[in-house]
Amino acid sequence: MKKSNWGELKDRAKLGYDNAYAPYSQFKVGAALQVGNGSVYHGCNVENASYGLTVCAERNAIAQAVIDGQQDITALVVYTEQDKLTPPCGACRQVIVEFMEQDATVKAVNHKGEEISWQVKDLLPNAFTPKDLK
């Protein structure tokens, strides 16, 4: 596994943010992740007039990696231009625990250069994981 390239992840998360489709909430989000071989994938939130069909940036980035055959996500960045740093929502946290180790790092960053980090195990304590299905 390569060391996490946080600078590239932040840049790619910003690129995702720039492409976000958020005409209803105006709450744009970008995300980027790195997988074990060092490849980086990014995503953006995509809203829908039927609000329940909206898909978050984190889940879109994860889907891009999975589509490419990558399931070993080692780092993830969420980017917004909010004054308050934005953590992943509950649905995204559940998907994150599916593909990231409990000690992997997730960061939230914003346009002011602020950031906060969590380990996956802190985002969703006592998570229901694939291990619970055995």
Share of the chain above pLDDT 90, in %: 94
Please identify which of the residues 8, 47, 58, 81 carries the catalytic annotation: 58
pLDDT at 41 > cutoff 90: yes
Q: Does the domain spanning 6-125 belong to CATH 3.40.140.10?
A: yes
pLDDT at 2 > cutoff 70: no
Confidence of residue 134 (pLDDT cuts 50, 70, 90): confident
- Listed residue (101, 97, 81, 22) closest to 56, CA to CA: 22
- What is the total residue count of the chain? 134
- Listed residue (117, 36, 47) closest to 74, CA to CA: 36
Cα–chain-centroid distance for residue 36? 16
For residue 65 the two structure tokens come to 């990696």
Q: Residues with Cβ < 8 Å from 103, sequence gap 6 or more?
A: 119, 120, 121
> For the residues 22-47, what does the mean pLDDT come to?
98
pLDDT at 1: 47
> For the residues 6-28, what does the mean pLDDT come to?
98
Question: Are 9 and 105 a contacting pair, CB within 8 Å?
Answer: no
Q: Active-site residue 114, yes or no?
A: no
- Domain coordinates of the chain in residue numbers? 6-125
pLDDT at 88 > cutoff 90: yes
CA gap 124, 46 in Å, rounded: 24
